[in-house]
Chains A and B, each alone.
Chain A
Amino acid sequence: MALLEIKNLHASVAGKEILSGIDLTVNTGEVHAIMGPNGSGKSTLAQVLAGRDLYQVTDGQVLYDGKDLLNMPPEERAQEGIFIAFQYPVEIPGVSNMYFLKAALNTIRKRRGLEELDAMDFLTLVKEKLALVEMDPAFLNRPVNAGFSGGEKKRNEIFQMAVLEPRLAILDETDSGLDIDALKIVANGVNQFRTRDRAMIVVTHYQRLLNYIVPDQVHVLANGRIVKSGGKDLALELDQSGYAGLEEAVTA
Chain B
Amino acid sequence: MNATAPSIEALANQEYKWGFVTEIEADTIPKGLNEDVIRMISAKKNEPEFMLEWRLKSYRQWLKMEEPQWPNVHYPRIDYQDIIYYSAPATKVGPKSLDEVDPELLRTYEKLGIPLKEQELLAGIAVDIVFDSVSVATTFKAKLAELGIIFCSFSEAVQEHPELIQKYLGSVVPHSDNFFAALNAAVFSDGSFCYVPKGVRCPMELSTYFRINAKDTGQFERTLIIADEGAYVSYLEGCTAPMRDNNQLHAAVVELVALDNAQIKYSTVQNWYPGDKQGKGGIYNFVTKRGKCLGDNSKISWTQVETGSAITWKYPSCILIGDNSVGEFYSVALTNNYQQADTGTKMIHIGKNTRSTIVSKGISAGHGQNTYRGMVKILKSAAGARNYSQCDSLLLGDQCGAHTFPYLEVKNTSSQVEHEASTSKIGEDQIFYCRQRGISSEDAVSMIVHGFCKEVFRELPMEFAVEAQKLLGISLEGSVG
A and B together in one complex: yes
Residues of A within 8 A of B (CB): 48, 50-57, 70-75, 77-79, 83-84, 86, 89-96, 99-101, 103-104, 107-108, 111, 143, 160, 164
Provide a sorted-by-A list of 14 A–B residue pairs whose CB atoms are within 8 angstroms.
Answer: A51-B436, A70-B3, A74-B4, A74-B435, A78-B435, A91-B430, A92-B434, A94-B452, A96-B451, A100-B437, A104-B437, A107-B439, A107-B443, A164-B437
For A50, the chain B residues whose CB sits under 8 A away are 432, 436
User: Does B405 belong to the interface (CB within 8 Å)?
Assistant: no
Q: Which of B5, B427, B443 contacts A73 (CB 8 A)?
A: B5
**Contact status A78-B447, CB under 8 Å:** no
Since A77-B436, A160-B437 are in contact, a sample of 14 more A-B pairs with Cβ atoms closer than 8 Å, ordered by chain A residue number, is: A51-B4, A53-B4, A53-B5, A56-B1, A70-B4, A89-B433, A90-B430, A90-B433, A93-B424, A94-B454, A95-B448, A95-B451, A103-B447, A108-B438
A88 nearest CB across to chain B (Å): 9
**Contact status A73-B438, CB under 8 Å:** no
**Contact status A104-B438, CB under 8 Å:** yes
Complex Cα spacing A91 to B425, Å: 12
Complex Cα spacing A73 to B8, Å: 12
Given A52-B1, A73-B5, A73-B6, are A78 and B432 also a contact pair (CB < 8 Å)? Answer: no
Given A75-B440, A94-B448, are A86 and B4 also a contact pair (CB < 8 Å)? Answer: no
Complex Cα spacing A95 to B450, Å: 8
Q: Which of A52, A71, A101 contacts B432 (CB 8 A)?
A: A52
For B433, the chain A residues whose CB sits under 8 A away are 86, 89-90, 92
Q: Which of A53, A92, A101, A103 contacts B430 (CB 8 A)?
A: A92
User: Does B2 belong to the interface (CB within 8 Å)?
Assistant: yes
B470 nearest CB across to chain A (Å): 16
Most chain B CB within 10 A, of A55, A57, A75, A103, is at A75
User: Does B49 belong to the interface (CB within 8 Å)?
Assistant: no
For B443, the chain A residues whose CB sits under 8 A away are 103, 107
Complex Cα spacing A125 to B447, Å: 22
Residues of B within 8 A of A (CB): 1-6, 424, 427-430, 432-441, 443, 447-448, 450-452, 454
**Contact status A95-B424, CB under 8 Å:** no
For A93, the chain B residues whose CB sits under 8 A away are 424, 451
Complex Cα spacing A93 to B454, Å: 12
Top 3 A-B pairs, shortest CB-CB distance: A94-B451, A104-B437, A78-B438
Complex Cα spacing A56 to B441, Å: 20
For B432, the chain A residues whose CB sits under 8 A away are 50, 52, 74, 90
For A78, the chain B residues whose CB sits under 8 A away are 435-438
B476 nearest CB across to chain A (Å): 15
Complex Cα spacing A99 to B441, Å: 16
**Contact status B1-A57, CB under 8 Å:** yes
For B6, the chain A residues whose CB sits under 8 A away are 73
Complex Cα spacing A93 to B6, Å: 25
**Contact status B451-A75, CB under 8 Å:** no
For B424, the chain A residues whose CB sits under 8 A away are 93
Complex Cα spacing A90 to B433, Å: 7
**Contact status A92-B448, CB under 8 Å:** yes
Q: Which of B2, B438, B439, B450 contacts A53 (CB 8 A)?
A: B2
B423 nearest CB across to chain A (Å): 12
Given A93-B424, A95-B451, are A103 and B439 also a contact pair (CB < 8 Å)? Answer: yes
B361 nearest CB across to chain A (Å): 10
A96 nearest CB across to chain B (Å): 8
**Contact status A72-B4, CB under 8 Å:** yes
Complex Cα spacing A214 to B3, Å: 36
A148 nearest CB across to chain B (Å): 13
For A55, the chain B residues whose CB sits under 8 A away are 1
CB nearest to B451 among chain A residues: A94
CB nearest to A73 among chain B residues: B4
Q: Which of B429, B435, B447 contacts A99 (CB 8 A)?
A: B447
Complex Cα spacing A91 to B451, Å: 13
Given A78-B436, A104-B439, are A71 and B448 also a contact pair (CB < 8 Å)? Answer: no
A67 nearest CB across to chain B (Å): 13
A104 nearest CB across to chain B (Å): 4
CB nearest to A56 among chain B residues: B1
B163 nearest CB across to chain A (Å): 49
CB nearest to A71 among chain B residues: B3
Complex Cα spacing A72 to B440, Å: 13
B31 nearest CB across to chain A (Å): 47
Complex Cα spacing A57 to B4, Å: 11
Complex Cα spacing A92 to B430, Å: 7
For A71, the chain B residues whose CB sits under 8 A away are 3-4
CB nearest to A103 among chain B residues: B439
CB nearest to B429 among chain A residues: A90
CB nearest to B392 among chain A residues: A94
Complex Cα spacing A108 to B436, Å: 11
For B447, the chain A residues whose CB sits under 8 A away are 95, 99-100, 103
For A83, the chain B residues whose CB sits under 8 A away are 436
For A86, the chain B residues whose CB sits under 8 A away are 433, 436
Complex Cα spacing A77 to B441, Å: 14
A114 nearest CB across to chain B (Å): 13
CB nearest to A163 among chain B residues: B437
For B429, the chain A residues whose CB sits under 8 A away are 90
Complex Cα spacing A71 to B435, Å: 15
Complex Cα spacing A56 to B2, Å: 8
B465 nearest CB across to chain A (Å): 15
For B2, the chain A residues whose CB sits under 8 A away are 53
CB nearest to A144 among chain B residues: B433
Complex Cα spacing A143 to B436, Å: 18
CB nearest to B426 among chain A residues: A92
For A95, the chain B residues whose CB sits under 8 A away are 447-448, 450-451
Complex Cα spacing A89 to B452, Å: 20
**Contact status A73-B435, CB under 8 Å:** yes
